Amino acid sequence: MAFVGKKFPSITVDAMNDMGDTFKVNVLEEAINNKKKVLLFWYPKDFTFVCPTELHAFQEAMAAFEKRNTVVIGASCDTPEVHFAWLNTSKDNGGIEGVTYPILADSNRNLSSVLGILDVTNERYDEETDTVQVDGDNVTYRATYLIDEEGIVFHEGINHMPLGRNVNEFMRLIDAYSHVQSHGEVCPANWEEGKDAMNPNAKSTAAYLASH
């Protein structure tokens, strides 16, 4: 199910921070109540290989996201306790010590199930045990959601497990969407802050293509 153009699901999830505090986060409310954009990124598992590189990359860009009035939130299906252990593991040992943004602990998979981002290749009924069994790890893909100040999703993307994300691309998308919000113009391919945008009409498109 695609969520672009729709409100992000209003589901409250446990979260952990670097101080060891467990608290509740509702991503939709974070956007609306604080009048901020939200970047929510999901990763498969704590204590793995590509995942810490992404969490540190988002941390290194925190000032740039804050400048763009954007809150960063990480998420996986690990428990708060596992998150806290990873937050207390040094970077040299594959940990995420130094990460300061909250990390959702969707261990009951309430939110990730609604989003449809779990690695569930097949669900099957087992007659012998009278249970539904799952093929696949039942953890999330590398899904990313950009949500505006009204709680509307303006970007979503899903990477397979081995493919790390480009943090700069999300800043470009936030810049582009902010430009649309402020100026009512549309942003062509490869648009970056400071480049020409277009009015949403055929004449403007033709002029832009002719000049590029």
Positions marked active-site: 51
At which residue do the structure tokens 């939709």 appear? 28
State whether the Cα torsion 198-204-205-208 is positive or negative. Answer: negative
Closest CA relative to residue 44, chosen from 111, 119, 120: 119
The residues with which 70 forms a beta bridge, in sequence order, are: 37
The residues with which 75 forms a beta bridge, in sequence order, are: 42, 104
3-state DSSP assignment of residue 8: coil
Chain-centroid distance of CA 121 in Å reads 22
**Separation between Cα atoms, residue 74 and residue 80, nearest integer Å:** 12
Pairing of β 103-105 and β 122-126: unpaired
